[in-house]
Amino acid sequence: MSDQTGIDRITQAFAHAQTTQSAALMPYFTLGYPSPAESVAIIEKFAPHCDLIELGVPFSDPIADGPTIQRSTQKSLDAGTTVKKCLAMVSELRTRGVDTPAMLMGYYNPIMAYGIDNYVRDAKAAGADGLIVPDLPPEESAELEAAADKHGIAYIFFLAPTSNEARIDAVAERAKGFIYMVSVAGVTGARTQIRTGLDEFVRDVRAKAAVPVAVGFGISSPDQARTVGDYADGVIVGSALVNAYDAGGADSAGEFVAALRAGLTN
């Protein structure tokens, strides 16, 4: 790991993808699923095929997650996964040589229980580059955002097709690293179609923001990844990757991410 900030590393990952004329690929996987050791091995398997990684910190009430991610997080919790253990898994990935910029996706309650500054400090020390907190709106995120700035990692804001102009303008002004664009007004989960008009909304946000825009929720195939990658700076895939692992193990997960990469670059 270098002395660069997490924001620097995220920015460089998107810039590198752009030089290859591809959107950045950011898979999601749940830490501790199906066990801590196996999740580390799975992430290590697919990491070479992606630009960034979103690592899920399990929580008992994941309001933004659909059935697939909920099932994986519950199994992780049942196996005894805690915030400290998640940070240890991130550290283990770094020890194994996985240097891909990593976002910790977790809910605000465990962060508050851990202590906001303590969480951000320890996340940075473990090797995290950014924080994604789906249940914390921008109007209430100042304390966590300040802690992220203090420790040199990115606090990632969300936007959705339902976001009004005031919310879009506020996020565009404050965003660091990238903006996480939710493709649907709903929860995560693989879907057969991408929302009509999403491309126009992404372009509108990109015109206002100084950071890249990555799209997640519902992308389930290389063809969909390629379609979204034609107008977005990044593509986030979660439920479909968990499904790929469930169907065929770590090798299947690695092959699926490789196929997404091929879909984006072809």
**What's the N-to-C CA distance of the chain in angstroms?**
31
Q: For residue 66, give the nearest of 245, 246, 240 by alpha carbon.
A: 240
Closest C-alpha to 96, from 56, 129, 131, 48? 48
Q: Residue 192 carries which side chain, given as an amino acid letter?
A: T
Does residue 8 carry a catalytic annotation? no
Catalytic residue among 3, 44, 51, 54: 54
CB atoms within 10 A of CB 166: 8
Location of structure tokens 């989960």: 189
- 54 an active-site residue? yes
- Supply the DSSP symbol for 27: E
**Across the strands, what pairs with 181?**
159, 215
CA 32 to CA 57: how far, in whole Å?
A: 8
Handedness of CA 173, 179, 183, 186 (dihedral sign): negative
Active site residue: 8, 38, 65, 230, which one?
65
Q: Decide if 199 contacts 231 (C-beta within 8 A).
A: yes
Q: Report d(CA 185, CA 224) in Å as an integer.
A: 18
**Positions marked catalytic:** 54, 65
